[in-house]
Structure 1
């Protein structure tokens, strides 16, 4: 905290630019961790030329559509969104919700790094879709991996999903995935989910363990978690393009480096927080199940129709799907070569 206060003191001297950044979360969230790192780095590296104001919660805007409109209008400079929150304006970002395309943290972090084919394609499509108003700066993480969780039974294979009422966001892709696995998608607003578990309106969800424990869902009856890791919980960090373009090349580089620092912080934060969350879940009597490789293959095979749905029904779906799968193949080869080098 001392470093944050020091950077704030520097920025207070005479900032040439003020970046208004918002996250619709709280101070226990990875988004907050990332913003603290971003603020500290940018204010210090710019020697006070840039000040970063953080707005955590719904002070500036309350949902993805409203917040992204604020970024486009210049009322908000930086905003973090999940793929679900941004899909109404940028439907192609739902590619991050496609199941079982990235195997683990190492693959996901390499694929989402700056300069990969996937990241460059996503950035280009965002600029084009926003008419040049919104720039995608980086893709971090917000909560680890999505796993299936429910109140009824252990889910070890797709047939165990049959008939379960699974909470989804309103976006089409998560609903298509749940249907492909034989369950019933049930769109429920996030603030209503605890009560919905208690009353049986929904019987399951697809969330990371830190969200499950942070929202105290086991107290509402959520007892079974299957670590299928079907989707990496990507965090899309958007910035008003005019604000960035108004800065000197040197300050633009500072901002870009700040987003790199932010990305690394959000990659790391869920790993640390999930350790205690898993321990707390099992200590409270929760059933934590790790699918075998064969069972995970069965999940992926059952979900395969969602890929064709995405490519055929989402504007830009084919291009962004090809960019992600190509990038994943490339980074997997690099990782395998690195492992061989490190262990021979």
Structure 2
């Protein structure tokens, strides 16, 4: 079996927090298959992998048959992982792992348009279908672009950058967009992130509806997991981590449950118990082996027998575009 091309982030502490690993697991962000392989190696009987990127299936073609059905790969998004797991024959799901954001294989494939390091068409579509980053950059009005950059990328110069993008249209390539953004911001100092980092992050999140998918994926994991099953989520930036943290706090009954003197009437039974008290970060050894892990955070929780519930996006701290604007002939909210 061929080696995986990329190192799965925080795999060692994830497996330690979830030990003993057993039964059927769902890897909702399959990528190059690193977590799936790690789970099988740690004792999982079967892993159902899910990915919306056709590249994942291409990469798996050479090694997946060697696992003789213990790892299977299904097309789709992790927002529908409960349905996909059921259709794959999983009667009981003992664990779900989600590795959020963009994968190394997507960044390193220049023609996908995720990176500003090499020139390529502005694409950024994980599924390689639907509206691209170029459609958004060239079709959205200035106000919507500014909102996306501010809410999804936490870019303070969002209005200035949006104005410059609109003035420069049409914008066709990654380096062209990166140059426009760099021209709006102070000159980069040694060691600082590239000035276009937040803009590219924001556009990627918008194109792929990553925050909406995360909210749906957390609820789908809650529906799929059997009592005692484990949910492990690796996030890479503050908004994602906040959403995961708030979801687990809400569903573990740690928020909005009143005080011991005046408990909330009719509160739902907790659907999760926290396994990791706070987020787990990479140690020095992992950072030395994989510098891209520097911003990673792991949270793990155990499913109870309580019925699955719902959490409103605003309760998760999910950024929401307030105004209705038009881009590429369709309305975004």
Task: Name the TM-score, length of structure 2 as normaliser.
Answer: 0.29
Which structure has more relative contact order (CA 8 Å, sep 6+)? It is: 1
Task: Name the TM-score, length of structure 1 as normaliser.
Answer: 0.28
